[in-house]
Structure 1
Amino acid sequence: MGRLSDVFSSELGRRRVWLFFQIATLVYVIPLILADYPYIDDNWRSLSAGTAWAGQGRLFTELFYNLLTFSDAAPNIFPLPLLIATLAMAFALTSLTFHYYPQPTMSRCLVVLPLWYNPFFLQNLSYQYDGPAIALSLVAVIYAITFRHASRILQWLVPAFLIALALGLYQVSLNVFLGLCCLELLWGAYDKWTWPQWCELIGWKIAQAGLGGLIYSVTAYPYMNQNRALLLNWAAAPWLQVEINIGRVLEKVVLLFHGGFAWVFAALLLCAIAGSVRLARNVIERQDAALRKVVMGLVCVLTVPVVTLLVSGAALFFRDFNEGARTLMGFAVLLVLLFYLSHLALTSIHERLTMLLVVPLLAMLSLSYAYGRVLTVQNTFASSALFSLGHDIASHRPLREAKRIYMSVSYSDHWLVEAAGSFKQMPILHYLLNINFYMLAENLPKAGITNVVAERERRNATLVGYQGYPPLVESKFYSLYLLGDYGFIVMKEPTPITALAW
C-alpha cells in the first residue's frame, strides 16, 4: 500500500506524464475501435467518400481529411484519424497538467483526465469521421489555454488562431474553452495571484476569444449554410425556449446518475464542496483590499453556474436545438471542476486520499466498455438487418428492377433486443447510442442494392397510404410493397422488450 501511494504522490517528469495520458486515452477508445461500427453519418460518408463539412461551418475538418487522405474527398481510413487524435490529446493533457501543476504527480494527472473521460463524449467518438476532428478541436482549445510566450503579440495571436481552428473543426468546443477559462480564474484565486495578474487573465481571455471568433468569421464561417446559424426568435418568448432546452438537457444528464454512478458522483460532489471551502479560505486570507476579495469571491462563486450552463452552452440559443450527447462537451469541464475541488479537499486531509479520484474514472471507463459492447451488438444487428432486407429485395425481380424503392422513416426504442438488459441497468447507454431505426437507405449499397432512397418529400406516406395493398414480402420487421415501377419498405413497430430475469 505504501508503494502504491508513493506512485500517486511522487513527482513525475514530462515523459512519464505523457506516457500515462497516452495509455489512459488509448484504453478509453479501444472499445470503439474494436466495435468498428459506422455510426449514422459514417454510412453515407464512407459510401461516397463525402465531406460536406464546409457547409456546417467546419471547413478545417474537411481540410484535415483532405490532407490526411491526400485527396480532395474523405475515403474511410478509420481508425487512423482516431489514433492520431488520441496521440494529440495525450500531448494536450500533458501540457494542461504542467500548466496547472508545475510539479505534477499521478493524482494530479487524474484531475484533467475527465476532459477525455467524459461519458457524453463517447457519442462524439462514435463517429468514425467526425469523432477524430472533434477530438482535435478539444486539443486546440486546451493548447489555447496553456500557451505562454514572452511576446505579448504572440500571447494574443497564437491562442486566437487555435480558437479559430477549434471552431472550424467543431463549434461546440467553444464551450470547453470558456469553461476552462472559468477554471483558470479559480486556479489563479487559489494560488493567490495578485489582483492585477488576475484581472489581466480575464482581459487576455476575452481578447483571445474575440480575435479567435473574428478569424473564424472570415475563414470557415462564410462557407456555412445560413439556416444552421439561426438563433431563437427574440420576438417569441426566447427565454422560455432556453428554459425548455435546459430542462431537456437536464433530463438527459440525469440518465448518467443511475445505480452505483449516483453514489460515486454524490461522493465526488461532497468532496468538491469541501474543496470549495478551502478555496474560499484562501481568498479570504489574501493580503488585499476587502472589496477586491469580495469581487474575486463573487466571481469564483459565479463560475460554478457558468460552467454548469456551458454543459450545453451556446447550443441553447439556436433555433435548431440539438439535445444529442455530442453537444454536451462542456460536461467534461464540469467534471474537471469537481475533480479539481475534490483534489484540494483530499490533499488537505492526506495526500494518499487523492487516490480516491481513481474511482469515478474507473466508473467512466467501465461505461466506455459497456457502450463498446452495445455498439458491437448494434453492429451485429445492423449487419443481420442489411442481409435480410438486401436478400428480400435481390430475390424478387420486380423489386430489384424497380425505379425507386422508398424506405419509410420509422423509429422505435425496441429494435436492439440483446442490449435490453444493459439499457435497463445503464439508461445512459441508450441515449449515447442514439439509434432508434432499423435501417438507413445508405446501408443498402453495401448489399449491392442501389435503388433504395429515404422517404422524405413524401412525408412518410407509405405508413398510411399502402397498408390496404397485399405486401410482396412480409417479414417480422418490415413489409415490402410494389406499386407499378415503385417499391415501398414499411417498417413494423417491434414488440417492446423487457430484460430477462434470471
Structure 2
Amino acid sequence: MTAQWSSKESLVFFLVAVLVYVFPLILADYFYVEDSFRAASGYASWRAEGRFLIDGFYHALSLSNGAPDTFPLGLLVACVVMAFALRKLAFHYFSSVNVCSASVVLPMFFSPLFLSDLAYKYDGPVITVGVALVMFAITFKCERKTLEWGAGTVLLCCALCIYQPLLNVFVGLCCIELYRAINAKKDTRDLALLAGEKLTQAAAAALFYLWVVVPFMGKERQGMLAWGDDWVSIVFQRLENAEERIRPLYTGGSAWLFAGMAILFVLGFIGAWWSALRDRPKASTKVLMSLAYVSIVPLLIICVPGIMLVFFYENSDSRAMLGAGPLLMFMLLVIHPLLKARHRHLTVLVVLPIIVLVSISYSYGRVLSLKKTLETSVMTQLAYSINASPALASVGVFYFNASAQDYWLPASAGTVSIVPGMPYLVAANFLFLPEALARIGITNVVQASHEHSARVRLGRDARPIVDTLFYAIYVEGGDGYIVMKKQPREHPDRGF
C-alpha cells in the first residue's frame, strides 16, 4: 500500500480509478435533462450560453459540424484527459506517489456533487476536460515565468469557455497553493508573488471572457446580482441555502466518517499552522501569515458555490457546486501528513472516504437506472393513450404541461434513506421532458408556452379524455393538452 509508483504506474491507477467511477453512469445510459433534445436534433449549440468550446469538442469528436449522440465516447476521452491531470496533480503535491497519496487527489473527480455534471451525456465529458484544464493551469511549471503565467492563463480561459463555474475550481486550488507555500515556510515576498500571479491570471481570464465571449451570450445569461445595501446579506443567504441543500450528503449514513474526517482535519490544520509559524522571527510576519492561513478554509467553503452567488438568478443546483472537489481534496491533503507523522501505514485511512465516494457513484447510477425505467414506463403509457383513443386521433399537436414537482421515485426509497442527499444529486424536478418522447416514436408533443398552457386555454369545467395516475389529456379547439400531475401518489383530479 505504501510502495512508490512510477509515473506510468500512477497514470494506470488514475485511468482505472476514473473509469471505475463513471462505469455506473455508462451502464445507466440515462438521458439527463437537455440530453434528449440535443440527441434528437444532433446540432446542439452552447454558444448562447458562453460555452462555445463544447461545440468545438463535439465537432472534433465527430469530424462534423454537429453534435451527434456518441455516448460514451466523449466520456471515455474525457476520462483519459482527467487521468493525466490527476497524475500531474499528484506529483505536484507529493514527491513520491503511492495508493494513499494518489487517493488524496481523487476527490477532484470523485466529488459527489460532480455526479450531476457527469450525468449529462453532452455537457459532462467536456466539463470533465475543463476541470482537467484548470488542474493543468495550476501544475504547469516552466523556467520562464512569463511563459508559465501565460500558459496557465490560456488554460484557464479555455476552461471558462467550457463552463463559467470552473473559475471556482481554480480559486479553490489557488487557496491550496497558498496553504502549501505557507507550510513550505516561504517568505512574505514569495507569498505576495504567488498571490499576485494567481490573481492576475484569474483577472486576465475573466476579462478575456467578458470582452470576447459575453457579447455573444444570450441576455438572460448575462445578469448579475445588482449592487445595493442588501447585496452582502443576499450573498450570505444564498451561501446558507446552498449549505442547507448539501447538508444531507454529510449528515446521512456516512456521517460518522465525515465527523472523523473533520476532527482529523482540524488537528492537522492546527498542527501545520503551528509548525509553519514556529520559526518565523518577526511578530508582524506571524500575524500576516496567520491571517492568510485562517482565510484559506472560509475561502474554500465560499468557492463551493463561488461565482453562482453573484448571478442574478440564484442557482444552488449540485451541478454548479464545482468548488466541492478542491475542498474535499484539501481535507485529505491536510489529514495525510498528520497520519503519516504517527505511522506511515495509517495513511491507508485516506482511502476510506474514497470508498464512500465510489459507493455514492454506484448508488447514483442505480437511481438513474430506476428513474429511466419509470420514465420509459410512463412514456409508453402516454404513447398508448395517444394512439389508442379515437378522440385523440385527429389532434395534430399536443402541448406538454409539466409543473415542478418534488423528487418522487418509490423504487429508490431504500437508497434515499441511507443517502438522503440523493434527491439533490439527481436534481430533476420533473418526470421527463417532451423531447424524450421521440425515443418511443411520438413527435407531435411540444413544450407548452404560457400562451398555450393548459391553465390559460382550458376552462375550469374541462374534462379529460384520458385520466391516469401520472397524467391527464385534454382536447380544446383541436389541440391536445397533456398535463403531468405534480404528485402522482396523491392522484389529484387536475394537475394545473
Q: Give me the TM-score of the superposition, normalised by structure 2.
A: 0.95
Q: Distance in 2 between matches of 1:438 and 1:310?
A: 31
Q: Residues 327-342 of structure 1 correspond to what in structure 2 (within 5 A)?
A: 327-342=320-335
Q: How does 1:67-466 map to 2 (within 5 A)?
A: 67-235=60-228, 237-413=230-406, 415-458=408-451, 460-462=453-455, 465-466=458-459
Cα gap change, 1:147/1:288 in structure 2, threshold over 3 Å: closer, same or farther? farther
Give the match for residue 6 of structure 2. Answer: 13
Q: 1:398: Cα distance to partner?
A: 4.6
Question: Conserved in 2, the CA contact under 8 Å of 1:98 and 1:104?
Answer: yes
Aligned position for 2:489: 495
Distance 1:414 1:227, change over 3 A: closer
Consecutive unaligned residues of structure 2, counting only runs of 5 or more, are: 492-496
Distance of aligned partners of 1:473 and 1:312 in 2 relative to their CA distance in 1, 3 Å threshold: same
2:34 to 38, 41, 45: 41
Distance apart, 1:345 and its partner CA: 1.3
Say if 1:305 and 1:406 are closer, same or farther in 2 by CA, change over 3 A.
Answer: same
8 Å contact kept, 1:96–1:142:
yes
Aligned equivalents of 2:407, 2:310: Cα separation in 1: 32
Q: What is the number of residues matched between the two proteins?
A: 490
Write the deviation string for residues 283-333 of structure 1: whole angstroms up to 9, x where unpaired. 222344332232122101101101001110110011111111001110111
1:77, distance to aligned residue in structure 2 (A): 0.5
The one-letter code of the counterpart of 2:113 is: F
Between 1:356-365 and 1:392-401, the stretch displaced more is 392-401
SS at match of 1:139: helix
Shift of 1:466: 4.3
1:111-169 deviation per Cα after TM superposition (whole angstroms, max 9, x unaligned): 11110110110001000000011111100100000000111221111000000000001
The separation in 2 between residues aligned to 1:345 and 1:463, in whole angstroms, is 64
> Within 2, Cα distance between the matches of 1:271 and 1:396?
64
- Whole-angstrom CA distance in 1 between matches of 2:230 and 2:374: 44
Distance 1:457 1:259 in 2: 40
Structure 2 distance, partners of 1:246, 1:119, is 18
Q: Distance in 2 between matches of 1:496 and 1:247?
A: 32
Q: Aligned equivalents of 1:227 and 1:439: distance in 2?
A: 24
* Deviation of 1:395 (Å): 2.3
Counterpart of 1:223, as a letter, is F
CA contact (8 A) 2:454 2:481 kept: no
Please report how far the alpha carbon of residue 205 of structure 1 lies from its aligned counterpart in structure 2 after TM superposition: 0.9
> 2:53 matched to 1:53?
no
| Distance in 1, Cα, partners of 2:130 & 2:162 | 5
Q: CA deviation at 1:400?
A: 4.2
Q: Which residue of 2 aligns with 1:27?
A: 20
Q: CA RMSD in A?
A: 1.8
Offset at residue 67 of structure 1 (A): 1.3
**Percent of matched pairs sharing the same residue:** 35
- Normalised by the size of structure 1, how large is the TM-score? 0.94
Alpha-carbon distance, 1:401 to partner = 3.6
Query: After the TM superposition, which of the residue ranges 157-166 and 445-454 deviates more from structure 2?
Result: 445-454
1:22 is displaced (CA, Å) by 0.9
* Residue 459 of structure 1, CA deviation: 7.5
Report if the CA contact (8 A) 1:161-1:215 is conserved.
no
Letter in 1 for 2:285: R
